[in-house]
Amino acid sequence: MDDYYDLIIIGAGITGTALSYIASSYSAMAKILVIEKYGKVAPLNSDSTNNSQTLHFGDIETNYTLEEASHTKAAAERVIRYTSRLSAKERGKIISKVQKMVLGVGDAEAERLEKIYSPGMRKLFPGLKKIGKMELEKIEPNTIKGRDPSEKVSALLSDKGYMVNFGLLAKSFSERASKSGVKFIFNCPCTDVHPIEDGHEIITPKGSFKARFVIFASGTYSLYFAKYLGYDQNLSILSVGGGFYIAPRVLRGKVYRVQAGGIPFAAIHGDPDITNPRITRFGPTVSFPIALEVRKSGTAMDYLKTFDFDIPTMQSLFNIISNKDIRRIMRKNAVYPLPLIGKHLFLKNEVSKIVPTLTLDKIHLDKNVGGIRPQIIDENKRFLTTGASKIRGNNIMFNITPSPGATSSLQSAMDDIVYICSLLDIKLNESKMRAELGAMDYKHLKQKINGHKQI
Ligand SMILES: Cc1cc2nc3c(=O)[nH]c(=O)nc-3n(C[C@H](O)[C@H](O)[C@H](O)COP(=O)(O)OP(=O)(O)OC[C@H]3O[C@@H](n4cnc5c(N)ncnc54)[C@H](O)[C@@H]3O)c2cc1C
């Protein structure tokens, strides 16, 4: 049958394209289709203008646990392995090494850094180095210039700094997948999906397509479709918007700030832009749009459909809002988009902590950039969940991908392909995948598959 596929992937962001690449390179799937709502690869959160362009390793992300750091490091290393196999020309556009650190300002943050720099952390990241004012002055001079000499500053300097154009990485995945026979259809939103005898049928304005397995790699929309089909009613999405202020190039590398523990979205940092070396971006700011896509108010109704207006979700929301660190972030960020006062306070509260000498006339809010992190509210936990979520159903899966979803794209695709091939009994060249992208321990995944319950 012409329109019957082994796998249909909905969404050509970095998650969907990574899976299309992995599935077509390492599995024996004969027919794979990717459909994308818009006219190109990575139009939304995976586009380089809409995210922070950081390959996260977990070494300077002070809100991660050691376990989260270890998983993130393994995921990031797959991206390094993939890009190391590209031509120097292609690689140079996608990824580039950059200095990276987390900066602690004041006694309390210095103490936090001290604690974070634990033996476990040093074992996981032997190249992570604690540095003080003098070294900072040499390697990132604008973090010290003009600073009150009595202010304590220290930093953890990483040897794993990379900036990545995730949009171009997604493009690279899709080009390789296309060459291996994956079909891409653009301007083709999935408007409906329903189970059929052997898989699912998806409906689009360009026709209906059937597959043995369907994956929603649809970013903020994955939970929308999961709920539509009756899966995971205990999750809701808190859309966390992230915008960026732009300044001239004042930093040599990425300077992150210390982040409160347990909060899934990162503190504002400053870093050079991979697409424009003459500027520094400061962000992401934090907003809570009632929408599933930024700058698209038409997605408000869909957002409300991903939300459970029941007592456990309301309790979760209450807990989120009651968290003093989140309240502080909300209070500060509420004013940043405002004209005049917003810029003034952003400079005072955020930018000057990183670059004390930067002045008001040198920064501006770029209203056309920034994306949405679909943070997951888990009714069972009555709070936010860190990282990505996968909802597995009957021959269908939904990937919800807040940060560091772009870093984890290959890891997520490898996990998914092992799962799908096991489930559908399709051959997978695991040894080639391991040799090219690194070892993986997916005994736990296979156990899960064996214990897979049809919902
Ligand atoms: C401000 C900000 C900073 C971030 N910084 C980082 C960072 O530094 N490092 C990092 O690793 N991650 C970062 N992230 C997270 C990262 O950007 C995302 O996790 C990642 O881009 C998600 O990719 P995706 O393909 O799952 O989703 P998306 O890129 O959102 O792609 C989903 C795709 O699905 C398509 N789609 C949706 N619905 C349909 C439908 N019905 N039919 C067909 N297609 C559909 C969309 O059009 C879209 O192309 C950041 C995110 C934000 C917002």
Q: Report the pLDDT value the prediction gives residue 455, as an integer from 0 to 100.
A: 26
Whether residue 261 is predicted with pLDDT greater than 80 in this model: the reply is no
Q: Report the pLDDT value the prediction gives residue 31, as an integer from 0 to 100.
A: 97
Q: Tokens 């994308």 appear where?
A: 36
Q: Report the pLDDT value the prediction gives residue 446, as an integer from 0 to 100.
A: 53
Among 9, 52, 293, 296, the mutation site with the greatest number of ligand 1 atoms within 8 A of its Cβ is 52
Whether residue 27 is contained in a domain is answered as yes
Joined tokens for residue 425: 């009994």
Distance, in Å, from the CA atom of 4 to the CA atom of 35, rounded to the nearest integer, reads 14
- CA 52 / ligand 1 centre spacing (Å): 12
Gyration radius of the chain's alpha carbons:
22
- Residue 131, amino acid: I
Using a pLDDT cut of 90, give the percent of the chain over it: 84
Which residues form the domain of 398?
1-53+165-231+393-455
Q: Report the pLDDT value the prediction gives residue 102, as an integer from 0 to 100.
A: 98
- CA 136 / ligand 1 centre spacing (Å): 34
pLDDT band at 242, cuts 50/70/90?
A: very high
Joined tokens for residue 12: 């050509």
Whether residue 287 is contained in a domain is answered as no
- CA 405 / ligand 1 centre spacing (Å): 7
pLDDT average, residue stretch 123-132: 97
Q: Report the pLDDT value the prediction gives residue 197, as an integer from 0 to 100.
A: 93
- Whether the CB-CB separation of 95 and 162 falls below 8 Å is answered with yes
Work out which ligand 1 atom sits closest to the CA atom of 15. Answer: 25
pLDDT average, residue stretch 32-41: 98
Whether residue 262 is contained in a domain is answered as no
- Exposed/middle/buried for residue 148 (C-beta within 10 Å: 0-12, 13-18, 19+): exposed
Whether residue 445 is contained in a domain is answered as yes
Whether residue 280 is predicted with pLDDT greater than 70 in this model: the reply is yes
pLDDT average, residue stretch 192-206: 97
Q: Report the pLDDT value the prediction gives residue 338, as an integer from 0 to 100.
A: 87
Q: Report the pLDDT value the prediction gives residue 265, as an integer from 0 to 100.
A: 73
Whether residue 24 is predicted with pLDDT greater than 90 in this model: the reply is yes
- CA 174 / ligand 1 centre spacing (Å): 15
194: domain CATH number is 3.50.50.60
pLDDT band at 291, cuts 50/70/90?
A: very high
- Whether the CB-CB separation of 216 and 10 falls below 8 Å is answered with yes
pLDDT band at 234, cuts 50/70/90?
A: confident
Residue of minimum CA distance from atom 21 in ligand 1:
46
Joined tokens for residue 243: 């915008």
pLDDT band at 53, cuts 50/70/90?
A: very high
Whether residue 139 is contained in a domain is answered as no
Work out which ligand 1 atom sits closest to the CA atom of 17. Answer: 25
- CA 46 / ligand 1 centre spacing (Å): 5
- CA 240 / ligand 1 centre spacing (Å): 12
Closest Cα to residue 412, out of 5, 21, 48, 6? 21
pLDDT average, residue stretch 369-385: 91
Q: What is the DSSP letter of 54?
A: B
- CA 117 / ligand 1 centre spacing (Å): 31
- CA 17 / ligand 1 centre spacing (Å): 11
Cα-based distances in Å from 111 to 108, 155, 258, 260: 5, 11, 11, 13
Report helix, strand or coil for 69. Answer: helix
pLDDT band at 451, cuts 50/70/90?
A: very low
Residue of minimum CA distance from atom 4 in ligand 1:
51
Work out which ligand 1 atom sits closest to the CA atom of 14. Answer: 25
pLDDT band at 445, cuts 50/70/90?
A: low
Least confident of 76-90, 147-161, 310-324: 310-324
pLDDT band at 325, cuts 50/70/90?
A: confident
Residue of minimum CA distance from atom 2 in ligand 1:
51
Cα-based distances in Å from 197 to 3, 18, 201, 395: 15, 28, 10, 11
- Return the ∠ at Cα 34 (arms to 446 and 421), rounded to 5°: 20
Whether residue 340 is predicted with pLDDT greater than 80 in this model: the reply is yes
- CA 13 / ligand 1 centre spacing (Å): 6
- Whether the CB-CB separation of 41 and 167 falls below 8 Å is answered with yes
Residue of minimum CA distance from atom 19 in ligand 1:
405
Whether residue 373 is contained in a domain is answered as no
Whether residue 367 is contained in a domain is answered as no
Whether residue 257 is contained in a domain is answered as no
Q: Report the pLDDT value the prediction gives residue 453, as an integer from 0 to 100.
A: 33
Mean pLDDT for all residues in the chain: 93
Q: Any residues with Cβ below 6 Å from ligand 1, and which?
A: 10-16, 35-38, 42-46, 50-54, 56, 166, 189-190, 217-219, 221, 242, 284, 370-373, 401-407
Closest Cα to residue 417, out of 32, 56, 58, 67? 32
Work out which ligand 1 atom sits closest to the CA atom of 11. Answer: 34
Whether residue 264 is predicted with pLDDT greater than 80 in this model: the reply is no
Enumerate the β-bridge partners of residue 276: 273
Q: Based on the structure, what is the number of domains in the chain?
A: 1
Enumerate the β-bridge partners of residue 183: 33
